Amino acid sequence: MSLWFDVARVSAGVNVALLLALVWVWGRNYAQFRSKHALGLAMFGVFLLGENAFALYIYLLDPTLSVWFASEAVPPIAWRGMMALHVLQTAGLLFLVWVTWD
């Protein structure tokens, strides 16, 4: 199993946790204030949460794709790219969490 695969999986898992927290806060803000901004943030969070949850499902649970991704069949350049996207997304979400809770 590749280091890139492990980093991508962990990053996707962290993204799911961060997005759950953000959607909870943004959803609560929308329920309280009924602002379009809060609704937009909550919807953005829900869609990004769906994307990350689906990626995590593919990496860990899908009977066909998880085996393929865990094998050496995926070229390292593809893994580096996928890992970079997940890690950059984690950095962006950490910043959003910091701004949201400040």
* pTM recorded for the entire structure: 0.92
End-to-end CA distance of the chain: 39
- How far is Cα 55 from Cα 41, in angstroms, rounded to an integer? 21
- How far is Cα 85 from Cα 36, in angstroms, rounded to an integer? 28
Q: Among 3-7, 47-51, 75-79, 82-86, which range has the highest average pLDDT?
A: 47-51
User: 11-39: per-residue pLDDT in tens?
Assistant: 999 999 999 999 999 999 999 999 999 99
